[in-house]
Amino acid sequence: MQLQGHEEMLAGNYSEAIATLHRALAAAAPGSLTYAYALYDLGRSLLLSGDPQAAIPVLEQRLRIPNQTGVVQATLDQALQAAGETQSQPSGGAPAAPPGHSHGRGHGDGHGNGNGKSDGGQGIG
């Protein structure tokens, strides 16, 4: 389900991705990589759909999982900026990408599937 939501997000079908990713979160074990990737993709889908206010708490929750926090922080900063709020400080880990940095397919946003490839958040299906 997480992979399906990720693909829907990449295709620009944000409302479908949001619904699928909510189901993926309900089915995944909290703390698993699937859960982490679903949270990130949900936050990113909410941001890309034009709802940065809804993306902020999702991305803040995702930031508490110590995995690829630099990418998550950068996306959270984008959501905060889009919502007109002050950017938060990075919480450690990898340095954050600058706000506005594109995280599309093939450009690697740090959410790969553990096989050495980074495809923009695919993670575990």
Task: Note the pTM of the prediction, 2 decimals.
Answer: 0.71
What's 97's DSSP letter? P
Question: How many whole angstroms from its chain centre is CA 3?
Answer: 13
- CB burial readout 74-106, b (16+ within 10 A) else e: bbbbbbbebeeeeebebeeeeebbeeeeebebe
- pLDDT band at residue 76 using 50, 70 and 90 as cut-offs: very high
Could you read off the pLDDT of 88-121 as tens digits, one per residue?
Answer: 544 443 333 333 333 333 333 444 433 333 334 4
Domain boundaries, the chain: 1-125
The model's pLDDT over 4-26, given as tens digits with 9 standing for 90+, comes to: 999 999 999 999 999 999 999 99
Location of structure tokens 């936050």: 43
**Dist CA 74 CA 63 (whole Å):** 10
Q: CATH fold of 1-125, please?
A: 1.25.40
